[in-house]
Amino acid sequence: QVQLVESGGGSVQAGGSLRLSCAASGFTYSSYWLAWFRQAPGKEREGVAAINSDGRISYAEFVKGRFTISKDNAKNTRYLQMNSLKPEDSAMYYCAAAPAFRILRLPLDAGGYNYWGQGTQVTVSS
Protein backbone atom coordinates (compact mmCIF):
# COMPACT_ATOMS: atom_id res chain seq x y z
CA GLN A 1 0.00 0.00 0.00
CA VAL A 2 1.46 3.32 -1.09
CA GLN A 3 1.42 6.09 1.48
CA LEU A 4 2.56 9.68 1.03
CA VAL A 5 2.82 11.91 4.08
CA GLU A 6 3.52 15.64 3.77
CA SER A 7 4.95 17.88 6.47
CA GLY A 8 6.57 21.27 6.82
CA GLY A 9 3.68 23.58 6.06
CA GLY A 10 2.90 26.59 8.19
CA SER A 11 2.50 30.32 8.27
CA VAL A 12 5.18 32.71 7.10
CA GLN A 13 5.45 36.33 6.07
CA ALA A 14 5.97 37.35 2.48
CA GLY A 15 9.58 36.93 1.47
CA GLY A 16 10.08 34.05 3.88
CA SER A 17 10.90 30.40 3.26
CA LEU A 18 9.48 27.00 4.02
CA ARG A 19 10.61 23.48 3.20
CA LEU A 20 7.98 20.86 2.60
CA SER A 21 8.74 17.18 2.94
CA CYS A 22 6.92 14.17 1.59
CA ALA A 23 7.78 10.76 2.96
CA ALA A 24 6.82 7.86 0.74
CA SER A 25 6.31 4.26 1.70
CA GLY A 26 5.22 1.26 -0.31
CA PHE A 27 6.12 2.93 -3.62
CA THR A 28 8.33 0.45 -5.40
CA TYR A 29 8.41 1.59 -9.02
CA SER A 30 11.92 2.03 -10.37
CA SER A 31 10.78 4.51 -13.03
CA TYR A 32 8.51 7.20 -11.67
CA TRP A 33 7.52 10.82 -11.31
CA LEU A 34 7.16 12.62 -7.99
CA ALA A 35 5.43 15.97 -7.88
CA TRP A 36 4.05 18.79 -5.78
CA PHE A 37 0.67 20.34 -6.47
CA ARG A 38 -1.25 23.05 -4.71
CA GLN A 39 -4.83 24.13 -4.43
CA ALA A 40 -6.13 27.40 -3.04
CA PRO A 41 -9.77 27.83 -2.00
CA GLY A 42 -11.99 28.27 -5.03
CA LYS A 43 -9.21 27.45 -7.46
CA GLU A 44 -8.23 24.39 -9.40
CA ARG A 45 -5.34 22.20 -8.34
CA GLU A 46 -2.17 23.25 -10.14
CA GLY A 47 1.18 21.64 -10.63
CA VAL A 48 4.13 23.27 -8.89
CA ALA A 49 7.16 21.07 -9.53
CA ALA A 50 7.95 17.52 -10.52
CA ILE A 51 11.01 15.28 -10.61
CA ASN A 52 11.44 11.85 -12.12
CA SER A 53 13.60 8.87 -11.33
CA ASP A 54 16.24 10.07 -13.81
CA GLY A 55 16.43 13.46 -12.15
CA ARG A 56 14.54 15.35 -14.83
CA ILE A 57 12.77 18.34 -13.27
CA SER A 58 9.84 20.44 -14.35
CA TYR A 59 8.68 23.67 -12.71
CA ALA A 60 5.62 25.79 -13.15
CA GLU A 61 6.51 29.22 -14.50
CA PHE A 62 5.18 30.96 -11.42
CA VAL A 63 7.74 29.25 -9.12
CA LYS A 64 10.83 29.20 -11.30
CA GLY A 65 13.77 30.73 -9.46
CA ARG A 66 11.97 30.56 -6.12
CA PHE A 67 11.14 26.90 -5.48
CA THR A 68 13.42 23.87 -5.68
CA ILE A 69 12.31 20.26 -5.80
CA SER A 70 14.66 17.50 -4.69
CA LYS A 71 14.58 13.93 -3.51
CA ASP A 72 16.52 11.76 -1.12
CA ASN A 73 16.26 8.22 -2.39
CA ALA A 74 17.84 6.77 0.72
CA LYS A 75 15.10 8.29 2.85
CA ASN A 76 12.30 7.83 0.31
CA THR A 77 11.54 11.49 0.80
CA ARG A 78 11.15 14.38 -1.59
CA TYR A 79 11.34 18.04 -0.69
CA LEU A 80 10.06 21.35 -1.91
CA GLN A 81 12.21 24.27 -0.82
CA MET A 82 10.15 27.42 -1.16
CA ASN A 83 11.90 30.78 -1.02
CA SER A 84 10.70 34.34 -1.60
CA LEU A 85 7.18 33.29 -0.75
CA LYS A 86 4.29 35.48 -1.85
CA PRO A 87 0.74 35.71 -0.49
CA GLU A 88 -0.49 34.11 -3.72
CA ASP A 89 1.53 31.00 -2.83
CA SER A 90 -0.92 30.34 0.01
CA ALA A 91 -2.61 27.00 -0.61
CA MET A 92 -2.85 23.41 0.44
CA TYR A 93 0.19 21.65 -0.96
CA TYR A 94 -0.01 18.01 -1.97
CA CYS A 95 2.66 15.55 -2.96
CA ALA A 96 1.86 13.01 -5.62
CA ALA A 97 3.52 10.04 -7.25
CA ALA A 98 3.02 7.89 -10.29
CA PRO A 99 4.87 5.25 -12.25
CA ALA A 100 6.50 6.85 -15.25
CA PHE A 101 4.26 5.16 -17.83
CA ARG A 102 1.32 7.24 -16.53
CA ILE A 103 3.10 10.55 -17.11
CA LEU A 104 3.40 10.66 -20.87
CA ARG A 105 4.02 14.32 -21.68
CA LEU A 106 2.91 16.64 -18.90
CA PRO A 107 4.53 15.99 -15.50
CA LEU A 108 2.58 18.89 -13.97
CA ASP A 109 -0.80 17.53 -15.06
CA ALA A 110 -2.57 16.16 -11.99
CA GLY A 111 -4.55 13.67 -14.03
CA GLY A 112 -1.57 11.37 -14.47
CA TYR A 113 -0.88 10.88 -10.78
CA ASN A 114 -2.53 8.04 -8.95
CA TYR A 115 -1.02 8.39 -5.48
CA TRP A 116 -1.64 11.45 -3.33
CA GLY A 117 -0.85 12.67 0.14
CA GLN A 118 -3.32 14.40 2.45
CA GLY A 119 -1.77 17.83 2.02
CA THR A 120 -0.07 20.43 4.17
CA GLN A 121 -1.26 24.02 4.47
CA VAL A 122 0.97 26.93 3.52
CA THR A 123 -0.14 30.44 4.44
CA VAL A 124 1.84 33.50 3.41
CA SER A 125 0.87 36.82 4.90
CA SER A 126 1.67 40.21 3.42
- Quick: pLDDT tens for 41-66: 999 999 999 999 999 999 999 999 99
Confidence of residue 36 (pLDDT cuts 50, 70, 90): very high
Confidence of residue 121 (pLDDT cuts 50, 70, 90): very high
Q: Is 63 helix (H, G, I), strand (E, B) or coil?
A: helix
Nearest to 16 by CA among 85, 97, 109: 85
Confidence of residue 109 (pLDDT cuts 50, 70, 90): very high
Rounded mean pLDDT, 105-126: 95
Pairing verdict, β 120-125 and 10-13: parallel
Q: Under 8 Å CB-to-CB from 49, ≥6 apart: which residues? A: 35, 36, 57, 58, 59, 60, 63, 67, 68, 69, 80, 108
> What pLDDT is recorded for position 27?
87
Exposure pattern of 74-90 as b/e (b: 16+ CB <10 Å)?
Answer: eeebbbbebeebeeebb
Residue 71 identity: K
Mean pLDDT of the residues in the chain? 95
